[in-house]
Amino acid sequence: MSKRLKIAIVVGEVSGDTLGAALIRSFKAQGIDADFEGIGGPQMIAEGFKSLYPMDTLSVMGLVEVLKHLKDLFAVRDGLIQHWENAPIDLYIGIDAPDFNLRVAKLIKDKKLPIKTVQYVSPSVWAWRQKRVFNIKYAIDLVLCLFPFEVDFYQKYDVPAVFVGHPLAKQLPLNPDAQQAKQQLQLDPAQAYIALLPGSRSGEVSKLLPVMLESVQRMMQSQPQLKFLIPAINAQRSQQIKTLLATQPDTVQEKIHVIDNTHTSSNIGRLVMQASDAVVLASGTATLEALLLHKPMVVIYKLHWLTYRIMLWMVKIPDYSLPNIIAKKKIVTELIQSDATAQNIERDLTRLLNTEQGLLQQQQLLALHEMLISDQSIQDPAQAILQHFHLV
């Protein structure tokens, strides 16, 4: 290449920050001379990335919830576009956060800016709001898909798409070591732990953690030997979690250990899950990590009631969590909206602890992990981008 590339990347949460940091490293490993800027988290910044806005600006989930922040989100979108009109970039890569990133990409195309656009992590367009595929076809030059069935969907609409897999699938071993994680977290090696992951967003924690804490009270009666771990991805979530925990009886607080993230790799949730015997977690990308760690899990989620009603009307698939979607059958329990109660969490968690049902779920998750790394069509995401746009 004759010139130094300028590559913009925008992410909205921790999982995107992880993918973005790995993508930057991959570009560098292939000798690409580039500047990286946009919106990113601590992992990307540690790779020399320049974040123009805080990543938390985009950490909004749900249709109704987004409406409350729409003015701020539009201001960020317009600020990015104006910045890139004044200081042009060669490539725009939106990682996840599809509602925001697709709007940015569309504005790039509307303004006819000479910028190639990539969406890394396909929106769940195959699951709901399928007509979005026509907006994607207009705004996105290349979709990088984490799962092979997504490429099949895009091919029906002549949208350029490549299966790049999820880097964690190869990164995490097929025999994860729980004792190693316990040692790293300075936990009792003989103690049985349950991981509670209410999500990385403030709204998720406020909706999901209270019911998780209520389930702890119930589990203390039926499984008094258990202790519970809650990872806190940053100082804000740590304070929020500890504030909610302080409302609980002392007997509950004694059973729960909040583990703060002290490392830029932001893998505290993964470590906590690895150290645990089972997991109760928010539906989202963390369920993929739980899958790759082969942990028995109960998946829960609650949305604003109107958001949920709208989603029921739009969703085209029977399951919400990634393990079930990838398997195309129900492997893990999903407790959504009114089903996400402390009583149901206790019931379904008890069914998984040291039981044949729990062992079977672990074996099914291992089989999915093996499937995700054995596919021969997986491409490196940075290489796929460079080849598609003939940048090398």
Give the start-to-end residue ranges of the domains of the chain. 5-165+376-388, 171-373
Q: Is 3.20.20.70 the CATH number for 5-165+376-388? A: no
In SS3 terms, 217-267 reads as HHHHHHCCCCEEEEEECCHHHHHHHHHHHCCCCHHHHCCEEEEECCCCCCC
Which DSSP string corresponds to 9-36?
Answer: EE--SHHHHHHHHHHHHHHHHTT--EEE
pLDDT band at 166, cuts 50/70/90? confident
The 10s digit of each residue's pLDDT in 133-155 is 999 999 999 999 998 889 999 99
pLDDT, residue 124, reads 83
Is the pLDDT at 187 greater than 90, yes or no?
yes
Percent share of the chain, pLDDT over 70? 93
Q: What is the pLDDT of residues 64-115, one digit of tens each?
A: 445 566 788 899 999 999 999 999 999 999 998 898 999 999 999 999 999 9
The whole-number pLDDT of residue 63 equals 47
Q: What CATH code would you report for 171-373?
A: 3.40.50.2000
pLDDT of 292-326, one tens digit each? 999 999 999 987 777 666 666 566 666 778 899 88
The gap from C-alpha 244 to its chain's centroid, in whole angstroms, comes to 23
Same fold, 5-165+376-388 and 171-373: yes
Q: What does pTM read for this prediction? A: 0.73
**Which amino acid belongs to residue 171?**
Q
pLDDT at position 264: 57
The CB-side HSE value for 305 (13 A sphere, CA atoms) comes to: 1
